[in-house]
Structure 1
Amino acid sequence: MDALQSSKLSDGIDAPLWMFWKRRRYVLVMMTFLGCTVMYTMRVAMSIAIVAMTENRTISLENGTVGYEQAFDWSSPIRGHVLSSFFYGYMLTQVPAGILANRFGATNVNNRMGITAVLTLLTPLCACAGFGWLIANRVLQGMAQGVCIPSIHTGWSKWAPPSERSRMVLFTFAGVFVGTIISMLLTGVVSNLWGWQSAFYIFGSIGCVWFVAWFLTVRPTPEKDPFITIKEKDFILQSLGITEGESDKYKHPWKGILTSKAVYAIIVAGFCQNWGFYNMMTQLPTFLKEALHFEVQATGSISALPYLAMGITLSIAGYLADWFQIKGIMTTTQVRRNFNCLSFLTQAIFMTVGAFILKPIPTIACITLAVSMGAFAWSGYAVNHLDLSPKSAGVMMGITNTVSTLAGIIAPVVTGSLTTHNRHDEWRQVFYITAVVNVIGLVVYWCWASGELQPWSLEVQERNRVCESGEKQEKKGYENRLSIVD
């Protein structure tokens, strides 16, 4: 069922949308939003804290003179490796997470967030123990967080009606930017007040609280949720074309996935979008301090501006994407393609202009506009997996995120290598490279993207349905033979 047909159905709940607790699918939206928020507070904290960890601090020496010292004497390339090490682990668990979430339930796999919270609490201890311990901690955090996004996508394949898909998915992902904002704003402040360690203790503790709340309130499917109304459950299942009691067993169409141009369009778009996103997330505080000469406390609040703008834009983009489909103004393919490519084009333009000017206020404005327009890309490629094959959405998201994570590994290292002296011409190269990557993503996605349910997905669904029907008939025949014997 497409978005237009789904919009004609009703969940039978007479309550305004803002009363999210009245609808169980919206409770899931809120919990995943909070989960993404907490996840990114823990992830981004290092990007701000590393500035405080490596800055020169004034100290009074025994002879009465004033000197300087650093908590950690790390060069720019070493800082780049610390920031990118998270992604070494992150990319390892993406595809397995999609497979396991489909088999054991997204909520069970997503429990790994609790591990991330504990590792965040241990980050200061590992940093003081040695560089190797910190890298190991960051890699393990990446592995634990790597399961989350594919698991969430698998959950939406069972909970999100097509007419609400873009809004629900993008509201969830808004937590990414809210978490980034919170972390960028607070990490600098608390590092200044209580030391760089305090941010990890605060965000790790909040992560533990969220984990307990998630475990108590969320269920993997509408059918297994004891608190859902019958009407809402029927509305969701009917919208998704699922029969109650249908088996969760599903053989993924690997050949179709790995040979589909539409899937590769998503993969390339994800890599290109995340090149700029991860580069700004990890390197923007350093850029503001070293190239534009802001104070550490100011770098956090200014770095948060682009993500505040993106969080706002994301909600607008999600609403517009669903609205254009529900009103029949655009097909799903047109929405995904137009939104995604508009985003890449404007990001490339603003990055180029910002690099050319490279003055505090105009450059920050250009970065803010570029990052905020990334929201429209998320309305394209980030939701697209659910269009092509809902039951394999988690696996495809895992593949996309695995490749996208390479951007998180490569971009900070490239930036660190290019900006060893923090000269303006070095940072211009970083911005120009990001603009070129965006143009590549634009061209590939425009040529190959699709928003339609793929033939290879339909074929496998039908085959699984036939097999399941045969198993039921065989079981029924066996039970009949037993009754005759008795």
Structure 2
Amino acid sequence: MSTGADLKAREGDIPSDNMTQEQSFKKGFCSLRHGLAFILHLCNFSIYTQQMNLSFAITAMVNTTVASSQLNASTERPPTNSQDVWNETLQESKAPVYDWTPEIQGILLSSLSYGSFIAPIPTGYVAGVFGAKYVVGLGLLISSVLTLFIPLAADAGVALLIVLRVIQGMAQVMVLTGQYSLWAKWAPPQERSQLITIAASGSMLGTFLVLIAGGLICQALGWPYIFYIFGGIGCACCLLWFPLVYDDPQNHPFISTGERRYITCSLAQESGILSALPFMFGCVCIILGGLLADFLLSRKILRLVTIRKLFTAVGVLASSGILLPLPWVRSSRSTTMAFLVLSSVFASLCDSGALINFLDIAPRYAGFLKGLLQVFSYLAGGIAPTVAGFFISQDSEFGWRNVFFLAAAIDVVGLLFYLIFSRAEVQDWAKEPTFTHL
């Protein structure tokens, strides 16, 4: 018969062992949740390369030499500038070229976003009902396979290519939004920033690689290979995704008992729906903000440059001002969520302001400037968690207050710079070259 001292000793041993085991899963990257982050890193890498590849390939796909000859009667002379040399090199390649007008090119480049307007909300709902694993995996597979078929669709006709791109855009939204349903069940709150930024950094790497290698691939191998290479990479990621990724730790066959217990315990009282609310409202308000901006412009109520500056100013100042009181309302969960939702709503106005201003000043280089914008945005997303961690480690009580103050200061400085120097007309350096008859 056990004595009281023996029972006390046994009761003390169990929590000690569990605590030691759980502490071991709080450190290092040798865990399934970090493995999930790296697989999602590859998925985001693939999606962003597939988003941007047409922006680079379209330069090689369009028969710019023929278009120029219709305007210039002296095009039979040898090429005299780098653009002519580039066009001549493309003509010598075996890849087909098309006589697409600038209007058609613009529709093709924007068609990827058409399906994105209605896809995020139903995608998030479907991911919550049927499981994010299959929603994200199916989206990646569809987008990658359609990327492989873009050269064939281009040969078949513009209409088919536009339809393909719209479907591809919806599939990519499945990946970009559905993955957050996974983090609601896999990411402990104290590691959420770390895990999500590891996954999100794949988008920055994909953007960087396309900017560096896209033109070289088109010139050296032909424009179809930019779709074959990045579409093939996406298909290879699917081979990792389906066998290795599961919707939650409880159903994963390879997870250790200690890591499962650690994740489950750390997520008690957490809600993925609450975390997604700011993004859901922000998504809707992006569309409403765009409609309002177009209304003000079409009725000539405000000039285009005034619209861009007004929407940016309201978005930056309102969202920053709403975030500043957050450290003092942490006792009320509902108030905190209301503040986060309102901040996301106002921040979405910037999508009708500064975030699309590059189309006004340099439509000729829209693809390149969008890629450059994404590089800087994800660079900031990678730096922000590190800075936040530094402030919190220095002062656990006022760390978040300092984070919000610093973010608001950066926003205001950037806004002032934008209000002073922003323009809304095509700049001289971005105008199309003009040809005159001799």
Asked if the contact 1:171/1:318 (under 8 Å) is kept, the reply is: no
Aligned residue identity for 2:148: L
What is the deviation of 1:39? 0.6
Aligned residue identity for 1:12: Q
Structure 1 residues without counterparts, runs of 5 or longer: 1-7, 289-298, 357-414, 428-486
SS of equivalent to 1:72: coil
Asked if the contact 2:32/2:255 (under 8 Å) is kept, the reply is: yes
Residue in structure 2 matched with residue 432 of structure 1 by the alignment: none
Residue in structure 2 matched with residue 316 of structure 1 by the alignment: 383
- Cα 1:343–1:274 change in 2 (3 A) is farther
- The question of 1:48 aligning with 2:56 is answered yes
Distance (whole Å) between structure 1 residues aligned to residue 362 and residue 256 of structure 2: 46
- Partner deviation per Cα, 1:84-116 (whole Å, 9 max, x = no partner): 111111222211111111122211210121000
- Cα 1:146–1:37 change in 2 (3 A) is same
Residue in structure 2 matched with residue 212 of structure 1 by the alignment: 239
Residue in structure 2 matched with residue 13 of structure 1 by the alignment: 24
- Cα 1:141–1:158 change in 2 (3 A) is same
Distance (whole Å) between structure 2 residues aligned to residue 102 and residue 181 of structure 1: 32
What is the deviation of 1:342? 4.3
What is the deviation of 1:44? 0.8
- Residue from 109, 115, 119 that aligns with 2:135: 109
What is the deviation of 1:200? 0.7
Aligned residue identity for 1:107: K
- Cα 1:226–1:278 change in 2 (3 A) is farther
What is the deviation of 1:46? 1.2
- Cα 1:277–1:16 change in 2 (3 A) is farther
Aligned residue identity for 1:23: S
Distance (whole Å) between structure 1 residues aligned to residue 410 and residue 240 of structure 2: 35
- Residue from 156, 167, 170 that aligns with 2:183: 156
Distance (whole Å) between structure 2 residues aligned to residue 260 and residue 16 of structure 1: 33
Residue in structure 2 matched with residue 89 of structure 1 by the alignment: 115
Distance (whole Å) between structure 1 residues aligned to residue 410 and residue 374 of structure 2: 15
Q: CA RMSD in A?
A: 4.2
Asked if the contact 1:44/1:282 (under 8 Å) is kept, the reply is: no
- Cα 1:41–1:249 change in 2 (3 A) is closer
Q: How does 1:316-355 map to 2 (within 5 A)?
A: 316-325=383-392, 327-330=395-398, 334=401, 337-338=404-405, 340-349=407-416, 351=418
- Cα 1:264–1:137 change in 2 (3 A) is farther
Distance (whole Å) between structure 1 residues aligned to residue 403 and residue 201 of structure 2: 18
What is the deviation of 1:160? 1.3
What is the deviation of 1:235? 1.6
Q: Using CA pairs below 8 Å that are at least 6 residues apart, which structure has the higher relative contact order?
A: 1
Structure 2 residues without counterparts, runs of 5 or longer: 1-18, 70-75, 92-96, 282-336, 433-438
Residue in structure 2 matched with residue 202 of structure 1 by the alignment: 229
Aligned residue identity for 1:146: V
TM-score by length of 2: 0.64
SS of equivalent to 1:12: helix
Asked if the contact 1:161/1:239 (under 8 Å) is kept, the reply is: yes
Asked if the contact 1:29/1:168 (under 8 Å) is kept, the reply is: yes
TM-score by length of 1: 0.58
SS of equivalent to 2:23: coil
- Name whichever of 262-271 and 110-119 sits farther off: 262-271
Distance (whole Å) between structure 2 residues aligned to residue 171 and residue 85 of structure 1: 29
Asked if the contact 1:284/1:303 (under 8 Å) is kept, the reply is: no
- Partner deviation per Cα, 1:30-74 (whole Å, 9 max, x = no partner): 1111111111001111122223333634899xxx86698883344
Asked if the contact 1:9/1:235 (under 8 Å) is kept, the reply is: no
- Cα 1:236–1:278 change in 2 (3 A) is farther
Distance (whole Å) between structure 2 residues aligned to residue 287 and residue 314 of structure 1: 24
Asked if the contact 1:92/1:146 (under 8 Å) is kept, the reply is: no
The structure having more radius of gyration, on CA atoms, is 2
- Cα 1:353–1:29 change in 2 (3 A) is farther
Asked if the contact 1:181/1:307 (under 8 Å) is kept, the reply is: no
Distance (whole Å) between structure 2 residues aligned to residue 283 and residue 224 of structure 1: 51
Distance (whole Å) between structure 2 residues aligned to residue 212 and residue 88 of structure 1: 29
- Partner deviation per Cα, 1:443-482 (whole Å, 9 max, x = no partner): xxxxxxxxxxxxxxxxxxxxxxxxxxxxxxxxxxxxxxxx
Residue in structure 2 matched with residue 128 of structure 1 by the alignment: 155
Distance (whole Å) between structure 2 residues aligned to residue 230 and residue 28 of structure 1: 17
Residue in structure 1 matched with residue 340 of structure 2 by the alignment: 262
Distance (whole Å) between structure 2 residues aligned to residue 226 and residue 329 of structure 1: 40
How many residues in Structure 1 have an aligned counterpart in Structure 2?
Answer: 335
- Cα 1:198–1:352 change in 2 (3 A) is farther
Distance (whole Å) between structure 1 residues aligned to residue 108 and residue 130 of structure 2: 33
- Name whichever of 26-35 and 344-353 sits farther off: 344-353
